[in-house]
Amino acid sequence: MPWEYFSDDEMRCHCGCKRVEMDPYFMSKLHSLRKLLEFPFLVTSGFRCPEYNEKISSTGTNGPHTTGRAVDIAISGKQAYLLVQYAANFHFLGIGIKQSGPDEKRYVHLDDLSEKEGFPRPRIWSY
């Protein structure tokens, strides 16, 4: 499914299964946020199949990325600050922040999953 600011390739699971199962409503929010901020979002992780997510994440086979409603964006500095600030206004309910270490290892995780959907955690956290 083509989006103006995001490609299928950057949203595709990295295990080789070629699945791209991003939620349309989530993507519309992400698109609106990207359009407002007027700078690129380099998505390093979009959809993950349950098997791949279990290999790379402590969330196992049921993590946020397996729902198609989560992304990790490589970003740092002032742009990361703006992304976090505006993401909360766009109803992203999970905001994970990794801003330590080298710039190329820094990112912001965004998802729109709630505790009611089985994702109990703080609204904003750091890695």
Domain of 96, CATH number, reads 3.30.1380.10
In the chain, how long is the greatest CA-to-CA distance?
36
Residues of the domain holding 79 = 8-122
Tell me, yes or no, whether 2 lies in a domain: no
Give the tens place of pLDDT for each residue, 77-119.
999 999 999 999 999 999 999 999 999 999 999 999 987 777 7
pLDDT tens-digit readout, 39-84: 999 999 999 999 999 999 999 999 999 999 999 999 999 999 999 9
Q: How far apart are CA 73 and CA 109, in angstroms?
A: 6
Q: How far apart are CA 67 and CA 83, in angstroms?
A: 22
Alpha carbon distance 80, 99 (integer Å):
8
Q: Does 127 map to a domain?
A: no
Q: Quick one: pLDDT at residue 102?
A: 95
Residue 39 lies in a domain: yes
Give how far the C-alpha of residue 69 lies from the chain's centroid of Cα atoms, to the nearest Å. 7
Structural domains counted in the chain: 1
